[in-house]
Amino acid sequence: MAPDALAELASASTTHHFDAGELITDYTMQVPDDVWMLRAGHVVLFAGAAEGDETLDTVEPGGIFGVYALLTGGKVQFAARATEPSTLLRLPGALVRSVFANPEGLSYIASSAWDRISGRSVAQRTSRAAVADLVRAEPVLTAAETPIRDAVKLMAERHSSYVLIPLPGGDFGIFTDRDLRTRVVAAGMGLNTPVAHAMSAPAHTVTGDRAGATVLMEMLEFGLRHMPVVDHGGRVLGVVEETDLVASSTRQSFLLRRAIAFATNTAELQVAARRITDLGVDLFRGGTDAAGTSAVISVVIDAVVRRALELEIADQTGAWRHQFAWLTMGSIARREAMPSSDVDSALSWSDEMCSDKGRFLRIAAGVHTTLDHCGLPADTNGAVAYKARFARCASEWSTAAQGWLDNPMKDRGLVMSSLLLDARVVWGDPALHTAPAAFSRMPVNHPHALRLQLLDALAGKVRPRSLRDVVARRGGTFDLKAHALTPIVNLARWAGLTVGLVSASTPARLAAGAGNGILSEDDANILREVFDLLQRLRMAHQIEQLATGCTPGDIITMSELSPLNRSLLNDGVREIAAVQRRVRQTLSNTVSRSSAG
């Protein structure tokens, strides 16, 4: 806070004393208009005001409570009671609200505020944390020719249950305590044998921006106890183990994913898939934040797509089954899915199967029919694998991508590039996804195409109200996706490309591209904070729609938002527009200097 604002808040605050056992406030019975800070004593937050109600959190001197209840207009409910003689400061809500109508307050809302009020345990929070934040130690590395005896000695010295072996080409092998038991001791392998003979290779890896919940499900699916974590440049950050990731919210997700994997026909798959919306509601209301909930929904949708494809080709035989890949695109590919998300898809197959295009189109149509019945509709804009534009052999994708770079305005090159840049293989050989290779060196080989990506991102103007309101001459609604999120996603995609990062989440792209000479680190941070806010508002809005039996969507009615959320949304829209102006001006100055030179 600015010094004058802090002084105003201090002068308007009042001091209150409470005896042991005395009720301080009951936010289950009233809409809050204040925030409390504990000066001395001890306070416990309960689910209700009655004796024996569930304990949510404890507050120590210096701690505050009531923030999130204030921000949500009373939707977060609890009662606070002193457990010993306590002195508290009561901060007026009108002054507190203004604190959060800025980027610093927005950052607090997106992180610590909810953690404090909801009383989530550390184990629960790990389900939504970026997996890079859960790495506890530097990676343990050794060479491929190291004798097993020395590798085991290194593991003991480092108190590690694994050792990583760097391989040519950037991959890693991994040797674990389980490998020692099953591949060395049980098989009678000599301890002087090079560790490369007993390792698993290549080791499955994940990037550090992945949510812990989704990484745990991946480990459970593949039967892994260790998961190396790498950055987007391939540098290993460390290794997480399943015990680092276990969280109660994740177990529910895993049970659903297992039901999907075990579905023996499309009817069983439909029954399982219909539970995705309930999962989203339970996760978000149970304390998982919007990013974590989106990541879990995305992973579960991936599982439905895979199983639908497996069922579609179950009665077909031939080598062709191993020569194609199914790609998911859009928000699901970025692991930013919402309950309203539809399914974008594409197919790529080996050049040897070029004459089988008709077969693949029929398979794609069948898969999407199943997905429709599962409550996962196809993309309304036609970005689906049963359309010829999105079904090609590997060399055709490479040629098309090169053509979009050479002439981005031809064949809807900008749109197609954006879709394929987000694409991720969810079934089949990842090597068949050939389009991204053409984009990895855009700054060097195709600066003109990269600049058009930026201009296209800057052309997406944020709007304070929906176009339908403009046409109807009324106010009051706002399209969170079209009029605020899409410009951020597009800017992030361009920012990632400037540093050679092709496929990644929106926050990861912004972090990677920050300070690239056009997008400053401050502006990248602002966009990330606004993105988090918008995703939280979208998820809360859609979860509420689902709970009331409505179809989830992105159009919100401004009057239904809490006063603070309305203020934050308006401020967020202004921040996006301001970043666009600054980026546009920096780009103009850069071009002018280049022309003068």
Dihedral of CA atoms 304, 305, 309, 311 in degrees, nearest 10, equals: 10
Q: What is the CATH number of the domain that holds 407?
A: 3.30.460.10
Residue 453 forms part of a structural domain: no
Domain end (from 221, 241, 261): 241
Higher pLDDT: 591 or 65? It is 65
Higher pLDDT: 290 or 17? It is 17
Domain end (from 241, 258, 291): 241
- Whether residue 62 is found in the same domain as residue 160: no
**Residue 53: band (very low, low, confident or very high) from pLDDT cuts 50, 70, 90:** low
Average pLDDT over all residues of the chain:
85
pLDDT tens, residue by residue, 492-521: 999 999 998 888 899 999 999 998 899 999
Residue 109 forms part of a structural domain: no
Number of domains in the chain: 4
Residue 107 forms part of a structural domain: no
Rounded mean pLDDT, 274-288: 84
Residue 34 forms part of a structural domain: yes
- Whether residue 234 is found in the same domain as residue 257: no
Dihedral of CA atoms 257, 261, 262, 266 in degrees, nearest 10, equals: 110
- Which positions ≥6 away from 113 have C-beta within 8 Å? 67, 68, 71
Q: What is the CATH number of the domain that holds 215?
A: 3.10.580.10
- Whether residue 184 is found in the same domain as residue 302: no
Higher pLDDT: 286 or 159? It is 159
Q: Quick check: 73 pLDDT over 90?
A: no
Domain end (from 198, 222, 241): 241
- Whether residue 159 is found in the same domain as residue 91: no
- Whether residue 17 is found in the same domain as residue 90: yes
- Whether residue 579 is found in the same domain as residue 492: yes
Residue 448 forms part of a structural domain: no
Residue 328 forms part of a structural domain: yes
Range scoring the smallest mean pLDDT among 140-144, 325-329, 355-359, 499-503: 499-503
Range scoring the smallest mean pLDDT among 334-338, 350-354, 451-455, 458-462: 458-462
**Residue 464: band (very low, low, confident or very high) from pLDDT cuts 50, 70, 90:** low
- Whether residue 259 is found in the same domain as residue 237: no
CB 516 within 8 A of CB 502: no
- Whether residue 410 is found in the same domain as residue 504: no
Q: What is the CATH number of the domain that holds 95?
A: 2.60.120.10
**Residue 124: band (very low, low, confident or very high) from pLDDT cuts 50, 70, 90:** very low
pLDDT at residue number 216: 75
Rounded mean pLDDT, 301-308: 94
- Whether residue 196 is found in the same domain as residue 271: no
DSSP 112-134: IIHHHHHT--HHHHTTTSBGGGG
- Whether residue 467 is found in the same domain as residue 418: no
- Whether residue 470 is found in the same domain as residue 581: yes
- Which positions ≥6 away from 384 have C-beta within 8 Å? 343, 344, 345, 364, 368, 378, 390
CA-to-CA distance for 303 and 406, rounded, in angstroms?
36
The structure tokens 């999962």 sit at: 279
Rounded mean pLDDT, 443-452: 89
Residue 445 forms part of a structural domain: no
Residue 49 forms part of a structural domain: yes
For 501, the domain range is 459-596
Reported as type and span, the H/E element at residue 579 is helix 563-596
Share of the chain above pLDDT 90, in %: 46
- Whether residue 337 is found in the same domain as residue 480: no
